Structure formats: structure tokens, C-alpha cells
Amino acid sequence: MELAALCTDPFLISCAFLCLVLHLALGSLLRPASVGGRRLPPGPPGIPVLGALPLIGPAPHAGLAALARKYGPVMYLKMGTCGVVVASSPCAAKAFLKALDARFANRPAVASAVDITYGYQNMVFANYGPKWKLMRKMASVHLLGARALADWTAVRRDEAGRLLRGMAEASHAARPVVIPEVLVCALANIVGQVTVSKRVFDVQGDESNSYKDMVVSLLTGAGLFNISDFVPALSRLDLQGVQAKLRRIHNQFDDLITKLLAEHSATAADRAAAGLPDFVDRLRASVGVDDEDGETITEVNIKGLIFDMFTAGTDTSSIIVEWAMAEMIKNPSVMARAQEEMDRVVGRARRLEESDIANLPYLQAVCKEAMRLHPSTPLSLPHFSFDDCDVDGYRVPGNTRLLINIWAIGRDPSAWEEPLEFRPERFLPGGPAAKVDPLGNYFELIPFGAGRRICAGKLAGMVFVQYFLGTLLHSFDWRLPDGEEKLDMSETFGLALPKAVPLRAVVTPRLTPAAYA
């Protein structure tokens, strides 16, 4: 980073000012060499109070990967007053998420998450325990499991058809399509129908685009390395303005969820008469009913779960599809091979169906490669352990946060040949990664995480990505708009990792007209 950029970066300015003041006040380094007589994992020395925070940079996934190349795949950093251990290789991730999975199944309490999670009352940020298990069970059985996904196949097919018709209209008008905008609209409508029996947006336009911007802003803000999260004594000052921004976005999101739930209540009798309960109907039927552990779902938990579904269920899947499309526009031979496979299996007289995906190994390989090179979640949500533990001969102290650098693992040269190249062939039968799947069984590829806190929506995520990417590829030819010769492949860091510049493309229908009806 150039000196001029360093001097104007507001985060670094805040860090420098804090360091100066607190160094004079406290003046002690924050990284001990050992704990309980056992050596800590290697890591960079910090500066007073802020520890290693200023070393991470504006792209923490890349900054931590650079530090890991120097200090190793298991790295311990003092960030503010918090100890953080970072795993940056498949073996390191396996050591924590398999051998030590139960110890690191909790979440740390962080200032950034309090408001947006209704006080940690959602599934994503709840601590490991009976309430979390109940929410996870309800989501898996009624929404995200294989049987539930099969029940909602027609909803996904209908929204895909609406998406294609809108894109065909844009093509006839010679209007470029903004990929994340059309995808998020479709995915939000799917989530809306399966949770509250309502399409959220009539058409893709200003309203759905504002929703997408709200989700992106929330995930970007929540992913920042907020000083208040690592120096809790400073949380009331909100030095970077992160908490105030997230609170404003949460209020907007809460207004949307409150409106949807109110409308849902007004139509409950109709669904009951038709025998068509949705996810929220089933959740509300369990409110006040204790499970075997004495836990119950509350109305606040319902809001938290709906929040999880609308955020994690829309933007993250859209990000993978967008990156995959961008890589194929950069690599036309990959796109041509994927389209040739679909033409051979599906033909051009009808749309691709979800049942076709099992017969499309190259499409599956493209999705895996996109997840490897561009994981929608670059750093795992933080895990937390209350107890000391041993890893690779090192002692990790209790009250330590764990980050899995999923982005670095997908680019690890010891795990992947030519890791920076987009090569779906590596996942085909006979390829070096033929047996690798992204569902948490192979630690070389863990876009959904692994272990107890693996993403509950991993199956839904795979269905969304494979079906919508395949549908877009099969239905249209793709090119950049006139005057745009090169794609911007830069990233925007947050809890998710979208393209910094959304992908715009001109599409041309390639199926028979009846397929778009």
C-alpha cells in the first residue's frame, strides 16, 4: 500500500491515534510467549493495546494469509485484548474443526453482532447449546434439509422462469443485465415464499435493488475488523462508526421482517384451511412448547431465523454465481465446454431442470471451482473456546477466538496445483480433486465451513448455485457490454466477498422461444 493511501485510511488513522494515546497510558506489549508453561503458536508481535490489528489491513483474508506464509498455518495473534488463533491450511482447519470441534463450537460476544442478531437470538450467532440445537433442528427439518428442499422445487423453478423472462426482455431491449441484482431478487422471492408464503418483490427493480444494497452493506459492515469487537472497553465510543451503521441497517431489515410477519399472521387461517403450513407457521406452532431440553422457540428467535434466511440465503449464493460467470467470461473455453455439455444432455428445446444437474459433471466442477477460488465467506464466522487446548504441539489458551481462513485454504499451493488458475477440470473424474466435495468432508474445500457449526444451508446453497448458474449458462450467450474490454475482478471484504464492481453483461437467448414462456 502506498504511503499516501496509508495516510488517508480512516481505519489506520484511528489505529495510530489510539496507539499513541494508549501507549502512553499503558505501554505493555500484548502477545505473551507462552501459556501455562507451553509455547503459543507462532505469530506477529503486536503493538500496545491494539496488538496485531493494524497488521491485518483492509482485506483481512489476504492480510492474514500473508502473515500465515511467514508464521505458519496455525498462527496466534493478540488482537486488542482478545486472543485469536487462525487456521490457514486444510490440516490446520481439520485439527480445529474435527479433533477440537466441540471445544470451538461457541461464538464470541462481539459488539458488531448484538443489534443485527436480536441479541444473539438467531441461529448463526447463538452460542452452542440447547437453544441453538433447537433452532438448527427446526431449520433443517422444515426448510433446509433434503426433503424440505425437494418440497419447494416448484418454487425455485417458477422463480427461475421469471428470471429468464426478465433477462430475455432485457436482451430484446439491448439492455445489459446486472447479474447480482437479478439473482438476489429471484433468491429473495424464493426465501420469502418458503418462509412466509410471499413473493417479496413483484419485479426486479428499484425496490429489490435497495434490498440487495441493504444486505451487501450489512454483510460488509459486519465483516469489518471493528476495534470495538477486540477492545470491548472502547465499544461505547464506536470509533469507526460500525455499530451505528449496522444499527441503522438492522432497523431497516427489522421493519421489513416485521411487515412480512404481520402480513403472514393475517393469512394464517387461509393456509391452515388449505393444509399448507410454511416455515413460520411451523415455528409459531412451537412457540411456548418445550422440547426435550426444556427449550422453546420465541418470537424473537423467529425474527432471528428469518433474518438468517434472507441474508445468508440470498447474497451468498448470488456471489458464487456472479464470480463463476465472471471467470467464464474471462475464460470463454470454459463457458463453451459447459454449454456444450448442457446442449448434449438437455438440448435447446427446453429449460434446464434441477434433475438434470446429476448428469452435468462439468457444471458441477465449475461450481466447485468457483467456491474454491471465490468462497462467498472468506473467513469463517469466529468460533470461540473457553478452555485451553493443544494443537500441533502448541498450547492455545482458553477464551480464544478461532478464524478459519477459507479463502487462503482454497489457494493453498500445497493443496492445489496452480491454485490461482480457474480450472474446473481438476474436479472431473480422473482429476486430482475428483473426490473432493464442498460439504465439509474435505478440508481442502470448505466454503460452508465444517464441523458442528457448518452452514445449516449448505444443501440449499449447492442447489441454488448449481441450478441458477446452469440455468443462466444454458439459456443465454454472454458478453461484456460494448466499450468494456476487461473485467474488474477486485473484491469487497466483509462477512461475504462480492465483486467490488458488480458484473454487467449483454445476454443473447440461445434456446427455442417456447423455453422462455
Provide the b/e sequence for 325-336 (b: ≥16 CB within 10 Å).
Answer: bbbbbeeeebbe
Output the pLDDT for position 292. 81
Cα separation values, 172 from 263, 479, 483, 510, Å: 37, 15, 19, 13
The stretch 282-307 carries a mean pLDDT of: 90
Identity at 155, one-letter amino acid code: V
Output the pLDDT for position 486. 87
Question: C-alpha cell of 71?
Answer: 508464521
**Cα angle at 148 between 460 and 443, to 5 degrees?**
35
In this structure, the chain runs to a length of 517
Domain that holds residue 205: 3-516
Question: C-alpha cell of 54?
Answer: 493494524
Number of domains in the chain: 1
pLDDT band of residue 14 (cuts 50, 70, 90) is low
Output the pLDDT for position 49. 84
Cα separation values, 327 from 8, 177, 338, 500, Å: 33, 17, 13, 14
What share of the chain has pLDDT > 90, as a percent?
Answer: 84
293/76 Cα distance (integer angstroms): 36
Greater model confidence, 165 or 486:
165
Output the pLDDT for position 477. 97
Query: What is the H or E stretch that residue 467 is in?
Result: helix 458-475
For the CA atoms of 26, 29, 30, 32, the dihedral, rounded to the nearest 10 degrees, stands at -140
Output the pLDDT for position 23. 43
pLDDT band of residue 5 (cuts 50, 70, 90) is very low
Question: C-alpha cell of 347?
Answer: 438440448
Angle between helices 361-373 and 315-330 (to 10 degrees): 100
pLDDT tens track for 100-145 = 999 999 999 999 999 999 999 999 999 999 999 999 999 999 999 9
Output the pLDDT for position 84. 97
Q: Is the confidence at residue 472, as pLDDT, over 80?
A: yes
pLDDT band of residue 33 (cuts 50, 70, 90) is low
130/433 Cα distance (integer angstroms): 37
Q: Which residue has the cell 427493480?
A: 205
Q: Report the 10 Å Cβ neighbour count for 20.
A: 11
CB proximity list for 294: less than 8 A, separation 6 or greater: 130
Greater model confidence, 34 or 187:
187
pLDDT tens track for 60-89 = 999 999 999 999 999 999 999 999 999 999
25/29 Cα distance (integer angstroms): 12
Residue 379 φ then ψ, to 5° = -115, 135
Fill in the DSSP letter of residue 393. T
Question: C-alpha cell of 485?
Answer: 474490454
Q: Are strands 82-87 and 400-404 parallel, antiparallel or unpaired?
A: parallel
Q: Is the confidence at residue 324, as pLDDT, over 80?
A: yes
Residue 49 φ then ψ, to 5° = 70, -55
Output the pLDDT for position 27. 38
Q: CA 88, 92, 94, 98 torsion: positive or negative? A: negative
419: left (phi over 0), alpha (psi -120 to 50) or beta: alpha
400/388 Cα distance (integer angstroms): 9
CB proximity list for 237: less than 8 A, separation 6 or greater: 228
Q: Is the confidence at residue 24, as pLDDT, over 50?
A: no
Output the pLDDT for position 313. 87
Please give the mean pLDDT across all residues of the chain: 91
Largest CA distance in the chain: 73
Beta strands per DSSP E along 126-183: 177-178
Domain CATH for 359: 1.10.630.10
Cα separation values, 211 from 179, 200, 464, Å: 15, 10, 19
Output the pLDDT for position 35. 55
pTM: 0.92
50/230 Cα distance (integer angstroms): 8
Q: Report the 10 Å Cβ neighbour count for 346.
A: 19
Output the pLDDT for position 288. 81
pLDDT tens track for 339-387 = 999 999 999 999 999 999 999 999 999 999 999 999 999 999 999 999 9
Output the pLDDT for position 22. 46
Output the pLDDT for position 499. 96
Q: Is the confidence at residue 149, as pLDDT, over 60?
A: yes
Output the pLDDT for position 37. 56
pLDDT tens track for 210-267 = 999 999 999 999 888 999 999 998 889 999 999 999 999 999 999 999 999 999 999 9
Q: Are strands 504-509 and 476-479 parallel, antiparallel or unpaired?
A: antiparallel
Question: C-alpha cell of 38?
Answer: 507451553
